[in-house]
Amino acid sequence: MPNSDNSPRYDVIAIGNAIVDVMAPCEDELIDELALNKGGMTLVDEDGAKRLYDAMGPAREISGGSAANTLAGLSAMGAQCAFIGQVADDQLGEVFAHDIRAVGIDFDTPVRPGPPATARCLIFVTPDAQRTMNTFLGASQFLPPETLDADAVAAARILYLEGYLWDPEEPRAAMRRAIEAAREAGRKVAFTLSEVFVIDRHGDDFRALIEDGLIDILFANHLELAALTGEDDFEAGIAALEGKVPTLVVTRSADGAVAVSDGKRAEVAAEPVGEVVDTTGAGDLFAAGFLSGHVKGDSLENCLTRGAVCAAEIISHYGARPEADLRELVAKKLG
Amino acid sequence: MPNSDNSPRYDVIAIGNAIVDVMAPCEDELIDELALNKGGMTLVDEDGAKRLYDAMGPAREISGGSAANTLAGLSAMGAQCAFIGQVADDQLGEVFAHDIRAVGIDFDTPVRPGPPATARCLIFVTPDAQRTMNTFLGASQFLPPETLDADAVAAARILYLEGYLWDPEEPRAAMRRAIEAAREAGRKVAFTLSEVFVIDRHGDDFRALIEDGLIDILFANHLELAALTGEDDFEAGIAALEGKVPTLVVTRSADGAVAVSDGKRAEVAAEPVGEVVDTTGAGDLFAAGFLSGHVKGDSLENCLTRGAVCAAEIISHYGARPEADLRELVAKKLG
């Protein structure tokens, strides 16, 4: 039921892949041997996933999914969140649902019976802490737009969308419907570009969304910025989007991040980290930190600093879900 | 097929729970609230497991099982190993099978179709690094003795048995059959007592196995030693078993360990650890280290030292499967 007074029930509602990460350390030689796209995300089918899993060392399973990771971070910092994503009726689906609900996130998308299985992402982590992701989308690619809870979308201050999920057809249609619902309710839409290959395939859609003024907050890394704008020069890329999206946030790995919002610009250096163990989720948690400030009306600088603190926490351990008390880390940093 | 020349194909073959650990940090308050047996292992049924999982924070899944953990350590140190244990035809079963095979352990027990699901152990890790385990045995309790590969048992230098698995009927019968097969082939039998509650229920069986001279290497912690012998005094407990088992290994948590073998006695202090994160698997990896030396004919002192090094590695991170290079750590310690 829509809130009669239109006051938001959620800070952020996200639509994303409902995915369990299967992570194992590996040497660079294995990346070469398996001809993997080092540092990137590649979609694989069930056979491909099986082949890679067979080649993988002993692994650990930790819930993941880009937007879900972002919500886990937001929730840890006290934001009210809801997640929309498709799991199958299987054990990994139970794991995903448990882990997201256990941090206080509403997750009511009905389980999908029958095959395919819940999505998993096989992540090879090399000694340089770089993650190489191979995703079997499984149930996650079947998110029927007709089951979308438009009232829940309308009840959230921000709708957060994961670019990865623009690739499969059903979730793309669901996200389009969600954008409409958010717009009708006067809510903001945040979008993360996710990965260069998604832009290669759907860049026209993304540019159209931007031109139509449907994206309020855009998250990208420097490579995605270049792919989207066609500008290899970082500043030229920023300039190409400035004014077209009210808030633009661009991360640059170890070189920190830049945000431009309503004519103001802020920059932040990367937070120092004792040992970088696994970079999985760095961008997701940067977005979490940024949004945690944004929903509170914090300054652009502070939003970036929050992002940097959260990203630093996530890369200091395996897995893309926070382990330390993010609220405490942020409070300590912001003083 | 038995080896015609009787030379062992495996250093160690183990029978144990085929189990996936579901681990989450928690505060002591939750242990109290859920009335859990802190520091111990408790068997729970499917409903109990569901209730505890619902109360648990976000978790990570890592393959476990006491004897399987021991083999993973042994394999990491170069020993040839095989595992016998029952998984169901489900995703957690695939995870368990993958992880154990990925470290080079032979695992050929046929998957069990239909319910119950693969065993899982819900592990609550408190800030003192103590683990509180709640095991849903699932498929693991159905290990039909008639499917036991007696030839594989006969082909291993040591048969290693997990006391936990003495509790359910089918695996107990399978283990009795395995002891016979090992004896007939002139192999050694190692046994870990696992947990006081197992001794409370099956102490008479264990004492009979010992009296009948069927156990060559016995692993216990100081609490289990007391429960088995009825002697509260540590030295009295040792004395009660000395001479009855050719090799007795007793761990004492932070106080190190003692071994008595053929009239000789050795002691070792616990290895210093930077930060104790999670004590799950400490005993399992101590046994791995000890046996890795034993199969090579190393001195009693060195066997204990190997055990202490492996236990120290496992308690420095989450999960009961080794993450660092155990062979390197042992080599460094033994010089």
Domain assignment present for residue B156? The answer is yes
Query: Half-sphere exposure of B129 toward its Cβ, with a 13 Å CA cutoff?
Result: 20
Residue B233: per-residue pLDDT: 97
Domain assignment present for residue B5? The answer is no
Domain assignment present for residue B242? The answer is yes
Domain assignment present for residue A318? The answer is yes
Task: Reply yes or no on whether the pLDDT at A19 is more than 90.
Answer: yes
CA B242/CA B262 separation, integer angstroms: 8
**Nearest CB to B319: which of A60, A92, A95?**
A60
Task: Reply yes or no on whether the pLDDT at A266 is more than 60.
Answer: yes
Phi and psi at residue B195, to the nearest 5°: -175, 145
Domain assignment present for residue A5? The answer is no
- Å between A333 CA and nearest CA of chain B: 24
Interface of A with B (CB under 8 A): 24-25, 53-54, 56-63, 72, 90-92, 95, 98-100, 102-103, 117, 319, 321, 323
Interface of B with A (CB under 8 A): 24-25, 53-54, 56-63, 72, 90-92, 95, 98-100, 102-103, 117, 319, 321, 323
Task: Reply yes or no on whether the pLDDT at B335 is more than 90.
Answer: no
Beta carbons of B102 and A57 less than 8 Å apart: yes
Domain assignment present for residue A61? The answer is yes
Task: Reply yes or no on whether the pLDDT at B257 is more than 80.
Answer: yes
Lowest mean pLDDT among A3-12, A140-149, B176-185, B190-199: A3-12
Number of domains chain A is built from: 1
Q: How many CB pairs lie under 8 A apart between chains A and B?
A: 60
Burial of B145: CB neighbours in 10 Å, binned 0-12, 13-18, 19+: middle
Query: Which residues form the domain of B82?
Result: 10-334
Task: Reply yes or no on whether the pLDDT at B2 is more than 70.
Answer: no
Encode pLDDT of A275-306 as tens digits: 999 999 999 999 999 999 999 999 999 999 99
Task: Reply yes or no on whether the pLDDT at A156 is more than 90.
Answer: yes
Query: Half-sphere exposure of A47 toward its Cβ, with a 13 Å CA cutoff?
Result: 0
Task: Reply yes or no on whether the pLDDT at B5 is more than 80.
Answer: no
How large is the ipTM?
A: 0.93
Domain assignment present for residue B305? The answer is yes
Q: Note whether B83 and B108 are within 8 A (CB).
A: no
Beta carbons of B99 and A58 less than 8 Å apart: yes
pLDDT over 70 percentage in chain B: 99
Q: For residues B158-185, give the mean pLDDT.
A: 97
- Å between B147 CA and nearest CA of chain A: 26
Encode pLDDT of A20-72 as tens digits: 999 999 999 999 999 999 999 999 999 999 999 999 999 999 999 999 999 99
Mind giving me the DSSP string for B213-276? T--SEEEEEHHHHHHHH---SHHHHHHHHBTTBSEEEEE-GGG-EEEEETTEEEEEPPPP-S--
Residue A74: per-residue pLDDT: 98
Encode pLDDT of A226-248 as tens digits: 999 999 999 999 999 988 999 99
Task: Reply yes or no on whether the pLDDT at A2 is more than 50.
Answer: no
Task: Reply yes or no on whether the pLDDT at B201 is more than 60.
Answer: yes
Task: Reply yes or no on whether the pLDDT at B3 is more than 80.
Answer: no
Cβ-based contacts of B323 with chain A (< 8 Å):
25
CATH code at position B42: 3.40.1190.20
Q: Compute, in degrees rounded to 10, the torsion defined by CA atoms A63, A67, A73, A77.
A: -140
Domain assignment present for residue B1? The answer is no
Between A1 and B179, the higher pLDDT residue: B179
List the structure tokens of A149: 């809870």
pTM value is 0.95
Q: For residues A111-130, give the mean pLDDT.
A: 97
Q: For residues B75-92, give the mean pLDDT.
A: 98
List the structure tokens of B101: 């095979």
Residue A77's SS3 state is coil
In what helix (H) or strand (E) does residue A302 lie, and over which residues does it extend? Answer: helix A300-314
**Nearest CB to A102: which of B58, B61, B95?**
B58
Q: What is the pLDDT of chain A when averaged over all its residues?
A: 96
pLDDT over 70 percentage in chain A: 99
